Structure 1
Amino acid sequence: MTTATQLDNLAIAALQDMLINVAELASQAKQAHWNVRGAAFLTVHQWLDDLAQNLRAHADTLAERIAALGGWPDACSETLSERNSLESLPFGALTTGQALAAMDNGLGRVAAGAAAWLRNPAVDQVTADHLTGLCRDVQNQQWLARAQQ
């Protein structure tokens, strides 16, 4: 039999995994925003800024849910560096195509991570609701990234 504490611990683990990748992707989106160059610059530059803000809002929601369940959210730079599952963003100037492709890839990984946790029947309904909203939003942003390429 699974206890409420075990369920909370599972939810915290799911949320923490997602927090790490979402916070890292928000940072990458901002880095790309600062360094993007090329065709359709202004549109991509603005979209990357909006994406970073959207992802930061999701990170905040995930972190607050972790705290509400009695956990300690961790998005410290060391944790993000050691535990994220995203590809690194190249240093320096990025063409709009490179920036969009990098965000497409990162958004896909975040969506896949959320979907994987949603398949776990032990994830509680409230956590599943947060993960569903995150998955829906990042899939929409992924569509926007692809449509601009």
Structure 2
Amino acid sequence: MTTATQLDNLAIAALQDVLVNVAELASQAQQAHWNVRGAAFLPVHRWLDELAQTLRAHTDTLAERIAGLGGWPDACSETLSERNTLESLPFGALTTGQALTAMDTGLGRVAAVAAAWLRNPAVDQVTADHLASLCRDVQNQQWLARAQQ
């Protein structure tokens, strides 16, 4: 028999797993925003800023759910470095194509991590709703990244 505490701990683990990837991708989107260059600079530059804001909003929602379940959300730089599963963003100038490809790949990875937790039947409905909302937004942003390439 699974206890409420065990279910909360599972939800916290799921949310934390997703949180580190979303927080890292938000940071990468902001970094790309600052360093993107190319013919389509302005729309990509603006989209990257909007993407970073959207992802930061999701980190706040995920972290607050973790705290609400009695956990301690952790998006410290050391934790992000050790636990995220994203590819690193190259240093320096990025062409619009490089930035869009990097975001497409990162968004796909975030969606995959969240979707994997959504398939776990032990994840509670409220946590599943948060993860589904994230997946919906991330997949929409992935479409926007691909449409600009």
Q: Distance in 1 between matches of 2:73 and 2:119?
A: 22
Q: Deviations over 1:57-100 (max 9, x none)?
A: 00000000000000000000000001000000000000000000
Question: Structure 2 stretches of 5 or more lacking a match?
Answer: none
2:31 alignment counterpart: 31
Secondary structure of 2:140's counterpart equals: helix
Q: Distance in 1 between matches of 2:68 and 2:27?
A: 24
Shift of 1:5: 0.2
TM-score by length of 1: 1.00
Secondary structure of 1:121's counterpart equals: coil
Letter in 2 for 1:28: Q
Letter in 1 for 2:127: T
Secondary structure of 1:111's counterpart equals: helix
Q: Distance in 1 between matches of 2:132 and 2:35?
A: 31
1:90 alignment counterpart: 90
Letter in 2 for 1:134: L
1:21 alignment counterpart: 21
Letter in 2 for 1:33: H
2:109 alignment counterpart: 109
Q: Distance in 1 between matches of 2:92 and 2:102?
A: 14
Q: Distance in 2 between matches of 1:107 and 1:31?
A: 15
Letter in 2 for 1:70: G
Q: How many residues align?
A: 149
User: Which 4+ runs in 1 deviate beyond 2 A?
Assistant: none
Please report the RMSD computed on the Cα atoms of aligned residues, expressed in angstroms.
0.3
What are the equivalent positions in structure 2 for 1:15-94 lying under 5 Å apart? Answer: 15-94=15-94
